[in-house]
Amino acid sequence: MNILIVEDESRIAKRIERMTRDILGDALQSIKHMNTLYEAIRYIENHSLDLVLLDLNLNGNSGFDLLTTAVSESFHTIIISAYNDQAITAFEYGVLDFVSKPFNRERLQQALHRAISNEKGITNPIKFLAVKKRHKVQLLPVKDLLYIKGAGTYTELFLVDGRKELHDKSLEKLEQLLAPSFERIHKSYVVKMSEIKEIIVESGSKYMVELKNGEHIPIGRTKYKDIKAKWF
């Protein structure tokens, strides 16, 4: 795993680094510490990362600027901050976890575990998906999202109004953030369950869902039973 710590308090950064090394052991490939927003953004642009541990208040600047950039990237973001009141907003933006200061090893471990294990079911619902556009990041309301199709390391977001957007996060990571109102029904599809009209069984035991707008999306053979049991 490649991890970046963005934190302007040197003692705390060292603590995070030490604990992370300890928790992840051999799974950790590299860990880097950045002091300022500007350095962090530059680093993110030029390096491939799996996880960013981000402080929300850096040198008197709000980390939300960095946060929108970070959540639009392929990696997960975990906030470590003193401002508990910003936790809800952070979750809405699509962070994986929010660790409030002061924290201990157990809490950090829990957060890191979530990043490693693809554990689903974040209690605070996400409201936006940050999508990278030319020179800027756009926040896309999750309520406008119909389903997501995996396309290699990227994903395609299909929206209510028929538009299609690209996202840098993998289908697995988005599934993790969007659960439980979204469900992985196929190895390449995550669908908003409330948009499903019915399940159609086609010849040759092919299963499809019909969405309210008439679109058909395949259901994975292995997923069918689970979904049928859970939702219908």
Is 28 in a helix, a strand, or coil? coil
Residue written as tokens 């510490």?
33
Give me the least distance between CB of 157 and other proteins, in Å please.
30
Which residue, 35 or 188, has its beta carbon nearer to other proteins? 35
Which residue, 9 or 144, has its beta carbon nearer to other proteins? 9
**Distances in Å between the alpha carbon of 44 and those of 8, 27, 70, 204?**
17, 20, 8, 47
Distance CA 188, CA 25 (A): 32
Residue written as tokens 């927003």?
37
* Interface residue list for other proteins (CB under 8 A): 8-12, 14-15, 35-36, 38, 57, 59-61, 65, 82-84, 100-104
Count of C-beta atoms within a 10 Å radius of residue 96: 23
Give me the least distance between CB of 45 and other proteins, in Å please.
14
Which residue, 63 or 150, has its beta carbon nearer to other proteins? 63
Q: Which of 185, 230, 188 is nearest to 211 (CA)?
A: 185
Give me the least distance between CB of 60 and other proteins, in Å please.
4
Which helix (H) or strand (E) segment is 91 a member of?
A: helix 87-93
Give me the least distance between CB of 57 and other proteins, in Å please.
5
Which residue, 87 or 227, has its beta carbon nearer to other proteins? 87
